[in-house]
Structure 1
Amino acid sequence: MNEKFFNANFPKSADGRVSHIGIKRGEIANRIITVGDLNRAKLFLKLLDSDTAIFQRQSHRGFLTITGKYKGVPISIVGIGMGSPMMDFFVREARAIIDGTMIIIRVGTCGGIGKSNSGDVIISKGSFAVTRNYDYPIFENKMIVQDYEVKTKERPYNISKVFYGDEEICNLIQKQLINSGIPNSQIIQGLNATCDSFYSSQGRHDENFEDYNNGLIETIRTKYPEEAESLEMETFMLYYLAKCSTDAPYRSQHKVSNELKKDGEQKIKTSNNTQKGFTSRNSIRAAATMIAISNRKTNETIDPDKLNYLERTVGEAVLKVLLEIGLDEEHIGDDCVWNLKV
């Protein structure tokens, strides 16, 4: 970090750059695709309009932001890496520098634990968190584990309730995936399990650590027997933050507009969307879709050529979804990077 940041509560540089994703107002659009793999972000860059300037910036924390236009509409693609903390950095810091409603769609990969096969595309209509219970003892004698659990009702992993994505956006994703040529039989809407580890809380076994995760996938499926479909590490945080988001950006923008507006200008309208997973008090609408690259029940894994095809196909379908969703208010300004000449 080569520049001074101000305000310990929400650090920004002197020119307004947020601390971790490293961008400022006008460098990120309201409509966003977020991915974990930076190479996937670069693949989606190739789908953007070639006659519009494309902004790219990678922060010292590894976040990659790409902003341009798709069919004339401002779009950002943000590569964040893996895990809920990275999603938290991205969503909170992007929200701080964007006016109006944000639409965030995650395009990722996952392990399938339900009826999916490797190569299927899963749309997460909702997500729950699977996290290590750090109060659970580490036993030297494995024989007393079951006795302890019976007596205390403690379990080594916590499984949260479900937070839902935006129902309208999830349904639009399914429609566009079908339009793109992916068979409906290979598209599944279900629940996602977002885990705090790639290994322990996803039920992978490692003799180097006491993880107490034998039967964890079965436990997850028992709690959500009909709908649990995927394991990954980001979606729950996206959905949770979307649900936690407030109308503060609308109030802030309204205040500024009232100070600057001319006679006859309309006041900013807040969204009246009431889709499941999104209310008028929320300023973020979120959805997620992911390619099942492995089947955790059979150990089947995806062919690399099929993954390459699906990444591009799903990415293009999601870009089309972003075009279908109208926004009551968007971030505007002559200095926005998507308005720059090529």
Structure 2
Amino acid sequence: MKDKLLNANFPKTAEGRVYHVEVKRGEVANRIITVGDPSRAQLFAEWLDKDTPIFRCNSARGFFTLTGKYKGVPVSIMGIGMVLDGQLIIIRFGSCGTIGKGTVGHMVVPKGAFAVTKNFDYFYNYYEDPDMTKNEEKNMKPYNVSEVFYADQEICELLKTKLLNYLPANEIHTGLNATCDSFYSSQGREDDNFADHNKELLTYIKKKHPQAESLEMETFMLYHLAKCSNDALLIKRKKSITKERINEIDKMNENKTNLEIEIKYDENIITTIKKPKNSIRAAATMMIFADRKTDEFIDSSRKKYLETIAGLAVLDVLVSIKLEEEQENDDNEGVWNLIN
């Protein structure tokens, strides 16, 4: 990004483009699919509405964004999702390995996820104490396994229902996902070139979380961010206020409950004060590429089939869920409102 960035706390350009991703308000929809494979994003783009242009942005940091419409509803396909207000729905669609009941070619819709992270301090004195006896004395473990953060269960059920149109029930698994901070050591892959001390890691994971089904590197952080997300306490938007609108606002304030919003008006500014709540609804579905129990790996034809049926299922679920609040479309500021 060559433009000057403003605000060290949340870097943006004068145009409103954020650091790293290089998109601004109006270029990202409130319904988002995250993918790791750029070719998978292009596959999604082929299914978007043909009468709406597709906005594309490739940032200097390697992030990509595609925004268009699917069945008339604005959606974005991204490597990461950020930089817009209102409620978000984010569904990760990717690949994983399995340590559970599933096998290669099956699908996982994890109801929850936990993090598996390397305990770097454990390896600090490796050369002085290669057997890690001092760590054992301190009861220090080489890997940390977190508690479970749960997905949006409504979205999970919708994903499972859609996938049942294409796959038998015994090929769709809804256990827990282990999100690991590396592809090798933290997923129990052994390499004699490194002292990873991970020989018993998968056993330890299954002992702490018996419902562990899948291993990958993304989903936990998405579920964690959704759990920690909240609506901005104060949102101001300029609107032209008619007498009818004033009466409507007064009526809403008169009938509000503790769970509802309070709306005030002052000249041409409407101020919406909200009770904090989770503003991100997140779920995921993954194709099982690797079976860690049998060392089997998926073949290309099955991969292509799953990408197609699961990709369409994700899009259908994404546009079927009503958002409490999303970007106003009547001001035509969204790139999905551009005309070919």
* TM-score in same-fold range (> 0.5): yes
For 1:168 and 1:290, the matched residues in 2 are separated by 17
User: Which of these residues, 309, 323, 327, is aligned with residue 327 of structure 1?
Assistant: 323
Distance 1:264 1:186, change over 3 A: same
Q: What amino acid sits opposite 2:161 in the alignment?
A: K
Q: Which amino acid aligns with 2:188?
A: G
Q: How does 1:89-128 map to 2 (within 5 A)?
A: 90-91=80-81, 94=82, 97-128=83-114
- Measure how far apart 1:252 and its partner are: 3.9
Give the structure 1 partner of residue 141 of structure 2.
Answer: 155
- Counterparts in 2 of 1:194 and 1:262: CA distance versus 1, 3 Å: farther
| One-letter amino acid of the structure 1 residue matched with residue 212 of structure 2 | A
Percent sequence identity over aligned pairs: 53
Q: In structure 1, which of residues 308, 312, 325 is the aligned counterpart of residue 308 of structure 2?
A: 312
- Comparing 329-338 with 234-243, greater Cα deviation is found at 329-338
How many residues are treated as equivalent by the alignment? 315
Letter in 2 for 1:194: T
Pair 1:263 & 2:223 matched: no
**Unaligned 5+ runs, structure 2:** 261-274
* CA deviation after TM superposition for structure 1 residue 65, in Å: 0.4
The whole-number CA distance in structure 2 between the counterparts of 1:244 and 1:262 is: 37
**For 1:1-342, what aligned pairs fall within 5 Å after superposition?**
1-78=1-78, 80=79, 90-91=80-81, 94=82, 97-137=83-123, 138-140=125-127, 144-145=131-132, 147-179=133-165, 181-225=166-210, 227-248=211-232, 251-253=233-235, 255-256=236-237, 260-265=240-245, 281-332=277-328, 333-342=331-340
Tell which structure's C-alpha radius of gyration is larger: 2
Counterpart position of 2:269: none
- For residues 190 and 282 of structure 2, what CA distance do their matches in structure 1 show? 32
Q: CA shift at 1:148, angstroms? A: 3.9
Q: Deviation per CA, 1:275-327, whole angstroms, max 9, x where unpaired?
A: xxxx9701100001100001011100111111011011101001110122111
What's the offset of the Cα at 1:14? 1.3
- Taking the aligned partners of 1:21 and 1:103, their CA distance within structure 2 comes to 18
Provide the C-alpha distance between the structure 1 equivalents of 2:12 and 2:234, rounded to a whole number of angstroms: 18
More helix by share: 1
In structure 1, C-alpha distance between the alignment counterparts of 2:172 and 2:91, rounded to whole Å = 17
Give the conservation status (yes or no) of the 8 Å contact 2:122–2:135.
no
Deviations 1:27-72 (A, max 9, x none): 0000010111111111111111111111111101111100000000
String of CA shifts for 1:167-213, please: whole Å, max 9, x gaps. 0000000001112x111110000101111111110111122221111
Does the 8 A contact of 2:52 with 2:339 survive in 1? yes
Q: What TM-score does the superposition give when structure 2 sets the normalisation length?
A: 0.87
Deviation at 1:328, TM superposition (A): 1.8
**Structure 2 CA distance for partners of 1:2 and 1:317, relative to 1, 3 Å:** same
SS for the counterpart of 1:77 is strand
